A = this chain, B = another copy of it.
Amino acid sequence: MKSIGFEHVTLRRGLLAEKERLSRRKTIPAVYHQFDLSGRNAAFSFTWKEGKPKQPHFFWDSDVAKWMEGAAYSLRRQPSVTLERKIDALVEKIEKNQREDGYFNIFHTVCEPGTEWTDRNHHELYCAGHLLEGAIAYFETTGKRQFLSCMEKYMAYIRDVFMVKQSAAFVTPGHQEIELALMRLYRLTKDASALELARFFIEQRGNNDKDKDIGFGKLYAQDDYPVREMREAKGHAVRALYYYSAVADLAAETGDPALLETCRAIFKDIVTHKMYITGGLGFPHGEAFSLPDYLPSDISYCETCASIAMVYFCARMQNIEKKSCYADVIERELYNGILSGLSLSGDAFFYENPLGIHKKARDAAGRVVRYSAITERVENFSCSCCPPNLCRFLPSMAALLYSVDGGDLYVHQYADSEATVDGMTVSQQTAYPMTGDITIKAEGASRLLLRIPGWCEESFTLDAPYTIENGYAVIENPMGEIHLSFQMKPVLLAARAGVADCEGRVAVARGPIVYCAEEVDNGEDLDALYLSRRFRARVRREPAFGSMPVLLTTGYRRRASASLYERAELAEFDETEIRLIPYACFANRGPSDMLVWMNAR
C-alpha cells in the first residue's frame, strides 16, 4: 500500500487547506527571514571567522535543509520564481563549499576544521540526512539534479567513512535522521548502496562497542538494545521516532518480520502508556519519552518535532499494517500536537506544547519555582528545529489523506479535497472538523475504505452497504455520492486510572480536537473551575480561531474560602460559563494561564 503523494491531492477548503495556505504565505517566508536574521542562511557561504558574531551551530545545516525541503513542497503546490531563486542560491553555496571528497558541514569546516566525525553528538549525520531530504524534495519538484548530485556524492563519502574505512570515532549517528533519508533516496533511485547504508546504521545501533554514551545514558540515544530486541519507546523522542520511521521503511522494503514486530511493539507502547491526550510526547528530562503512564501536565514537554516525527512513523505503519489505529494517532497529532506549535498568524512558534501554562512560575527573586513552558510564541529559537519542521510538514500533509493498494482506495483523513492517481479519483466535500458530515465520491476503485475514527466509536452513519475491516468501513464497488456522518458531540475524556496528574480530572474533546481553558477567557485560577459531569456544550464558530469551533459550557467556579483549609462539605460553587478553545489555538492572545486537564463535579 502506498500513500497518494501530496502533489496529487488538492486541499480545497477547511482547516487543513487554510493551514497549508498559511504555511506558503506566512510560515515559509517568516522562517527564511528569521534564518537571515540569525545568520543561518549566510552560514552557507562558509565565511564565518573566529571572533565574528553569529557563529554557526553544528545543527544549523539541518535547520536550513528542512526549510529548503518545505520550500520545495511549497513550490510544487504553487510555482514562485522568488522562492526558487532562494533555494537555488543556497544550493549553489552548498555545491561551492562541498569538500572535494564529498563532505559537507558548516560547523566542522569553518568553526572546528579537522574535527569531522569525532563527536557523535555533533549532528553531522543528522544534518546530512536533512540535506539529503531537501535535495530529494527539490529534485522531485524541479527536476534539477544539482543539489541531489551533491548529496549523492556526500552519501558515497559517508558510506566510505562508516562502512568501508570505519574511520569515524563512532558507528551510528548521535541524532538519527539519515536512516530515513537514505531509505527515501533508495526509493527514488533504487540505488542499493543507499539501502545498504541505511540498514548498516539501523542494525549497528545498540549493537557495537565503539559507540559511546552521548550523555543521559544509553537509552537516551536508543543505544540500549539492537533494533530487533527493542520493545519500548525510550529516550529522546524526536531521535527515537525518526529512527523508528526508518525501521518501518526497512521493514516494508525487506519484509523482515522482526523489524516489523519492533515497530508494532513500540507503537503500542507509545499509544498505551506514553502519549499525552494532545498527541504530545515527552517530558523535560532529556526531551525524552516519559515513564509508562507518567504523563504529568505541569512538566509536559511535547516538542512539535516529536509530534511531526510520530506522524512520519504512523504514516509508514498505516501503509504496512492497513489498520486505522495509525491514522487515528495521525489525526490526534495533526489537530492538536502539531498545529499547537504554530501561531494563528503563521509566523510564531512553540517548541514545547505543554498541557498547562502557569504564569506564576517564578518567585519574587525571579527563580523558577514551578516548571512551565514559555507563555508566548516566538519567531525563532536558538535551537530552532520546530519552525522549519512545520515548513516542510504543512505543505506536504495532504499526503496523509489517501492510500492506494491495488484497487483498494483508503481514506485516512477527512478534509475537503480531491485526488487523482493511477486512474482513480476521489473527492470529499466537507467542512470537517467543523462538522462531521462528509460526502465522498470515488471512481475507479474496486473497494473504498473509510476510516471510522476511534473517538467516534459507534456513532456514525454511512448510506452505503459496508463491512468493517481493521477500523475501516469497506464499501465494495463504490458508486456515486456516499454520505458519511460522524457524531461530533463534545465529550469529557479521562485518562487511565493512576496516570499522574490526570486522575480525578477530565479533558474535553469534540471529534479529534482537544480543548483547553485559557485565563484570558475564564479568569485566574483555572484549577478552581469545575466542568459539569453532565457536560453539555454549545459549539460556536469564531473567525479568530479559523475552522475550529470554540465550546461554551455551564460549569462552576469554587469560591475561595477565607481560611486555607476547611471542611470539604462546606465548599461553595458558583455557576459560571466556561469558554474552551481548541488546544491548538492556545497562547495567541498574550500571556495567559492555560489548562487541558480540568476538574469536574
A residues contacting B by CB (< 8 A) are 216-220, 234, 271-273, 275, 277, 283, 285-286, 288, 290-291, 293-294, 296, 360, 363-370, 491-500, 503-507, 524-525, 527-528, 530, 533, 557-571, 599-600
Contact = CB atoms under 8 A, between A and B. Distances in A.
A491 B570 CA distance: 11
Contact of A564 (B218, B275, B557): B275
A494 B528 contact: no
A368 B600 CA distance: 31
Contacts of A271: 564
Contact of A527 (B365, B500, B562): B500
A216 B560 CA distance: 32
A97 B216 CA distance: 49
Nearest to A364: B219
A528 B497 contact: yes
Contacts of A360: 291, 294
Contacts of A286: 367
Contact of A492 (B273, B528, B560, B567): B567
Nearest to A271: B564
B273 A564 contact: yes
Given A564-B273, A567-B491, A567-B493, A369 B498 contact: no
Q: Nearest 5 pairs between A and B by C-beta?
A: A217-B365, A498-B525, A492-B568, A497-B558, A497-B528
A507 B564 CA distance: 13
Contacts of A558: 497-498, 503
- Give the most central of A493, A503, A530, A557: most B CB within 10 Å: A503
Contacts of A563: 272, 496
A495 B565 contact: yes
Give the one of A290, A506, A567, A600 with max B CB within 10 A. Answer: A567
B565 A217 contact: no
Contact of A506 (B290, B370, B568): B568
Given A272-B563, A360-B294, A564-B273, A285 B494 contact: no
Contacts of A285: 363, 367-369
B369 A528 contact: no
Contact of A566 (B293, B494, B524, B568): B494
B291 A494 contact: no
A507 B493 CA distance: 25
A498 B567 contact: no
B599 A504 contact: yes
B527 A494 contact: no
11 contacts: A219-B363, A219-B364, A286-B367, A491-B568, A492-B567, A494-B570, A497-B560, A497-B561, A503-B527, A507-B565, A568-B600
Nearest to A492: B568
Given A217-B364, A217-B367, 19 more contacts: A217-B366, A218-B365, A219-B365, A272-B563, A277-B565, A285-B363, A285-B369, A491-B568, A492-B569, A493-B567, A494-B567, A495-B564, A496-B564, A497-B525, A497-B557, A497-B561, A498-B528, A503-B558, A506-B568
A568 B370 contact: no
